[in-house]
Structure 1
């Protein structure tokens, strides 16, 4: 017989927060290629944010989406450039596919890059960051890097959500305090027990000591 140990029983609050932030960075880098492909497809669709065609523009790009994706792509490249220089590690050759200004600052994707191409270019950057994660995590700018990447990739994902199809519905359960069916679970990482279970209406939070038995109740 095996038993599942709740990490809250052995972790300090600081350790738990560190683990959550590490997971968020990993998740952001993992999802980045798909998100960039999605936004690049929107950027070359030739429509405005409301879906209206804009034939008077010289470029068929959706300006807002193009600006957003170019800004995030440039920032991702900048972190790769920074750590490559700081750690004396060769950066990925994908950097030559970026559009640059006269002063060599990266401005975004080159004209003609397809959504599939954007995905490949971004994946090469994120793979480089993941491969050298152990060196990066020990650098004094690691926390700034982690916070920035989580923030700007999260903004891009939130502004242009990817439709991954219908997800398994999770029905709200009655709240033990107010009695209304508004109790939901919010997971903060891939660990089953790294979850907050609370009522969306009265904000009553279910105690952590009950998570082992309450998870089936909330998700079932």
Structure 2
């Protein structure tokens, strides 16, 4: 029996026509269109390809995101006209408390999960977490000295540690909880602290069956199990949809994408 994704979601169930081409079985019930689904299969440890790739994507976003959040901690230039402590030039609130709390919460979440994974795998944690690992205590905030650049370096160390061990971690039962907490925290923070547009991380291009150009790529459009679009476009141009525009049907996505590349 094939193992199923530990998160327990479903995917479209493809079938084949008489010529062996993949098709999706749809039904019309009282005028409403339905299609066959099946439990998602685990292809990377206890995770399906989409869940495995989504964790990698969000973990990879955390260094730049946390650095960006830390840049909001200090008051903006207009704070020079803000209220002062009586008899001094000090600001009443010298920092942005929301950005400060968000940065500490994100770092603590990621750090505590990496420590937990290190214990489960019986290996050393990221070197920046060695003290809390030895004392068996939870990380509650970033080091007080960590400004924008230091925050990037500290978080990148955690992200790199995860990427190096992601295949082993995917077999742990806790990966489902990690996936959900990561997406629930990082997604809203990315919306709350928008950054300048950056080139999306793409998989290696595959040949498009319609125009024979190597432009079939995938990119996320949301956090849902099926919120990934696989289509023919050229990410190297200013027009992200330059290409023939062919979009791979959702039931055929796994034929074009190796989720381990993300």
Q: With the length of structure 2 as denominator, give the TM-score of the two structures.
A: 0.54
Residue 140 of structure 2: SS of its match in structure 1? strand
The CA deviation at 1:116 is 1.1
Please say which structure displays the higher CA radius of gyration: 2
How many positions carry a matched residue from both structures?
171
Is 1:33–1:118's contact at 8 Å kept on the other side of the alignment? yes
Is 1:76–1:125's contact at 8 Å kept on the other side of the alignment? yes
2:66 to 31, 36, 39: 36
Structure 2 residue aligned with 1:105: 138
2:166 to 116, 122, 133: 133
The CA deviation at 1:105 is 2.8
CA distance 1:208–1:189, shift in 2 (3 Å):
closer
The CA deviation at 1:158 is 1.5
Structure 2 residue aligned with 1:79: 113
The CA deviation at 1:19 is 2.5
Structure 2 residue aligned with 1:46: 75
Q: Which runs of 5+ in 1 are unaligned?
A: 1-6, 168-184, 194-205, 212-220
The CA deviation at 1:138 is 0.5
Residue 141 of structure 2: SS of its match in structure 1? strand
Residue 45 of structure 2 corresponds to residue 19 of structure 1: no
Structure 1 residue aligned with 2:231: 192
The CA deviation at 1:22 is 2.2
What is the Cα-based RMSD across aligned positions, in Å?
4.1
Structure showing the higher helix proportion among its residues: 1
CA distance 1:192–1:107, shift in 2 (3 Å):
same
Tell me the distance in 2 between the aligned counterparts of 1:27 and 1:47.
30
Tell me the distance in 2 between the aligned counterparts of 1:207 and 1:129.
31
Tell me the distance in 2 between the aligned counterparts of 1:95 and 1:137.
21
Q: Which runs of 5+ in 2 are unaligned?
A: 1-12, 15-21, 24-36, 86-90, 201-219, 233-246, 253-262
Which one is further off, 23-32 or 7-16? 7-16
The CA deviation at 1:96 is 5.8
Tell me the distance in 2 between the aligned counterparts of 1:38 and 1:125.
17
The CA deviation at 1:165 is 6.9
Is 1:40–1:69's contact at 8 Å kept on the other side of the alignment? yes
CA distance 1:76–1:166, shift in 2 (3 Å):
closer
Structure 1 residue aligned with 2:236: none
